[in-house]
Amino acid sequence: MGQRDWVPDTIDVNQPSMARMYDFVLGGSHNFAVDREAAEKVLAANPDGRLGMFANRAFLRRAVRFMVNAGITQFLDIGSGIPTAGNVHEIAQDANPDCRVVYVDVDPVAVLHGRRMLASNGRVTAIQADIREPDRILTDPDLLELLDLNQPVGLLMLCVLHFVPDEQDPAGLVARYRDRLAPGSYLTISHVTGDDPSDTHQDAMKTYSRVMTQVNLRSRDQVAAMFDGFDLVDPGLVWVPRWRPDPGEDASATLFYYGGVGIRP
């Protein structure tokens, strides 16, 4: 399939996209040369970057399985990127075919491709919106057709909140979603941190900010504040490889990401 077979003419293929960069690193095919070039620059500055992205994907897998086992059957994944293999709907529906999933991303290519991939699955959809638009997202007709916000939801915000600058109050933004969730809902967050003082980490973040979007590094305490109103489940807010690792998984690395899951009482 050629690029023009799946990319609308309105998309600027000369600007990199985080969703498509992530797709490239994970081995997907829906990315452009500019995305691959940007991703390679970041990986050159941070050789562990690829491991970090795979660790984040493994954290997503474990968190979704945990929530399904806790009785969650509907999920809202904000900042989802392109729903490539091993994404939320595959994991959740493998455990419980009745699970329903709504993906949200600001990148029109991610949403367009997601809709095409998911066209045969009536329990999954994708909508285009910015994480900073909770009212628009939570009232979207496509979302409300699949999700009942009066019942518990599994809300995922993986590797997206570090793109929200401090002046836009990311913790307050999360609280706006929290206030619309039913008791028993779960929140899953992963977030790049500045707690790793290594030169490799700092150089990688500077490179990323130059080639793409400003990354806002936050401390563990700052990320923990985003779980206000939620009770963190064990083991709390930890490096993502250390959150309930599967048998045989390497949980020793830090890899720049904090991750946690909380429940709304």
pLDDT tens, residue by residue, 67-118: 999 999 999 999 998 776 679 999 999 999 999 999 999 988 788 878 888 8
pLDDT digit string, tens, across residues 35-74: 788 777 777 766 666 677 778 889 999 999 999 999 999 9
Instruction: Of 243, 193, 251, give the one whose Cα is nearest residue 63.
Output: 243
Global pTM value: 0.84
* Alpha carbons 95 and 93: distance in angstroms, whole number: 5
List the CATH number of the domain containing 87.
3.40.50.150
DSSP assignment of 112-150, as one string? HHHHHHTTT-TTEEEEE--TT-HHHHHT-HHHHHH--TT
No. of helices (H) and no. of strands (E), the chain: 10, 8
Strand, helix or coil at 161? Answer: helix
Domain of residue 184 covers 3-263
With cut-offs at 50, 70 and 90, classify the pLDDT of residue 237.
very high
* Alpha carbons 67 and 84: distance in angstroms, whole number: 20
pLDDT digit string, tens, across residues 123-155: 999 999 999 999 999 999 999 999 999 999 999
With cut-offs at 50, 70 and 90, classify the pLDDT of residue 2.
very low
Q: If you average pLDDT over residues 199-219, what whole number do you get?
A: 65
Query: 214 or 9: whose pLDDT is higher?
Result: 214
Number of domains in the chain: 1
DSSP 217: -
